[in-house]
Amino acid sequence: MTNTYEATLEYAKEQDKADPLYLNRERFHIPQHNNGDTVYFCGNSLGLQPKSVERLIKSELEDWAKYGVEGHFQARNPWFYYHHIFSERLGRLVGASKDEVVATNTLTVNLQLLMLSFYRPEGRRFKIMMEAGAFPSDQYAVETQVRMYGYDPKDAIIEIAPKPGKHTIEESDIIVAIAEAGDSLALVMFGGVNYYTGQLFDMQSITDAAHKVGAYAGFDLAHAVGNVPLSLHDWDIDFACWCSYKYLNSGPGGVGGLYVHERHYNNPDTFRLAGWWGNDEKERFLMRKGFVPQKNAGSWQMSNAPVFNMVAHNAALDIHDHVGIKALREKSLKLTGYLEFLLNTIEHLSFEIITPKEEDRRGCQLSLLFDSRGKEVFEALTNNGVIADWREPNVIRIAPVPLYNSFEDVYKFYNILAQIDAQ
């Protein structure tokens, strides 16, 4: 493949032929429109279903029917240890050891639980820094955390916004703000990739700056995991959490995941809310008093594993692990580059790409901000078999996902957009 793109269907098809990941498309159910595949550019919101899920759900149902309660130890993947089957694959995906990650709960729940551990305001040090315009659930979570300790969000939350007239945040503005906040800062909590603009943050620099002033650094990786390479451990990040239904294709409401740096789970002073599934496994069924946390991130689990919910995660992680985030990213840069190239040739519609132009400051998503008529364009796309994502007030988010989207998808999208009437 080359990076001298061409705006023709032949060119797009050639790229697909040369793409070593192209065949993965076959592993997913692609929603249909007029008896053909839709152009599904919404994998940043809900990833597609791996075809293998159905078989795996059936086999889990069989084990339940066959063993009843004994499935906890007799099932093909014993339920007592079910969450273990994800750890190695998740570790490879996010750049952590298998003990630093666990598939458990859901995203906002994990964010709240991790903030209970890592937002411990005391004296002068009570502030949380986050990006302005973070996903609402994260805003609510942070707001209620500071309220729980009696602070007014206006005093305790520092939001970093883009400079006037800009759409994305300058990395240096974050670093400067952290230094300025100094010892008033308890926690820096950012999205790894902002859901709205698609901006990828430099998590390592943010973490370094936070640590320099004695604050913790945590990240919501909803839009980063399975999208961009991560090295959570090497970047020295304190904690992170993610959902599995976006780029990880594990189904609506799918089990979330969390990461805690080893220095924290090994520290007996690290506070965590307890439940029996976080307890030392050897003693879990002894039903004794006194919580003994596991010596891994699994100690943040509370309830027993939602096995049926996790089956799709198992199927999807197999595919991700087989492909690997490195190869995925390589294709992603070309695929999104092609989309950007084609969009830049369109002159009859008035929009601006607000996602950063630099490859290392974005994942696969491009966000198009329309002057007007955005909704109309979005509806025309939908009517022509493009599944994209509309965000108020005027943004269409387009996510060509390298795991199952093709260059032909990108070309088709462009072709449909090019035929929408100008007004």
Residues at the contact surface with ligand PLP, assessed by CB under 6 A: 106-108, 135, 137-138, 191, 195, 220, 222-223, 243
Long-range CB contacts (within 8 A, 24+) of 372-377: 373/349, 373/423, 377/349, 377/351, 377/417, 377/420
* Look-up of token digits 């192209």: 22
Minimum distance from residue 179 beta carbon to ligand PLP (Å): 25
The tokens for 114 are: 């991790």
Minimum distance from residue 141 beta carbon to ligand PLP (Å): 8
Q: How far apart are the first and last CA of the chain?
A: 37
The tokens for 400 are: 């060509």
Q: Which is nearer to ligand PLP, 64 or 140 (CB)?
A: 140
Query: Which residues are CB-contacts of 396 (< 8 A; sequence separation ≥ 6)?
Result: 351, 367, 368, 370, 374, 377, 378, 381, 388, 389, 390
* Look-up of token digits 């919910």: 309
What's the DSSP call for residue 163? Answer: P
Minimum distance from residue 365 beta carbon to ligand PLP (Å): 11
Q: Which is nearer to ligand PLP, 201 or 414 (CB)?
A: 201
Other beta carbons less than 10 A from residue 214's beta carbon: 11
Q: Which is nearer to ligand PLP, 134 or 215 (CB)?
A: 134
- Compute the distance between CA of residue 300 and CA of residue 289 in angstroms, rounded to an integer: 18
Q: Which is nearer to ligand PLP, 174 or 243 (CB)?
A: 243
Minimum distance from residue 176 beta carbon to ligand PLP (Å): 24
Minimum distance from residue 82 beta carbon to ligand PLP (Å): 20
Minimum distance from residue 109 beta carbon to ligand PLP (Å): 6
Minimum distance from residue 242 beta carbon to ligand PLP (Å): 9
Element (H, E) at 127: strand 127-131
Cα-flanking dihedrals φ and ψ of residue 315, to 5°?
-60, -45
Minimum distance from residue 192 beta carbon to ligand PLP (Å): 9
- Compute the distance between CA of residue 61 and CA of residue 308 in angstroms, rounded to an integer: 9
Single out the residue of 181, 189, 210, 192 nearest to residue 141, CA to CA.
189
- Compute the distance between CA of residue 256 and CA of residue 297 in angstroms, rounded to an integer: 13
The tokens for 270 are: 């690290």
Could you give the 3-state DSSP secondary structure of residue 222?
coil
Minimum distance from residue 305 beta carbon to ligand PLP (Å): 17
Single out the residue of 76, 52, 53, 54 nearest to residue 64, CA to CA.
76
- Compute the distance between CA of residue 194 and CA of residue 178 in angstroms, rounded to an integer: 19
Element (H, E) at 146: helix 136-148
The tokens for 344 are: 């830049």
Minimum distance from residue 202 beta carbon to ligand PLP (Å): 18
Q: Which is nearer to ligand PLP, 106 or 197 (CB)?
A: 106
Minimum distance from residue 118 beta carbon to ligand PLP (Å): 17
Q: Which is nearer to ligand PLP, 108 or 336 (CB)?
A: 108
Q: Which is nearer to ligand PLP, 113 or 311 (CB)?
A: 113
Q: Which is nearer to ligand PLP, 209 or 224 (CB)?
A: 224
- Cβ(135)–Cβ(190) below 8 Å: no
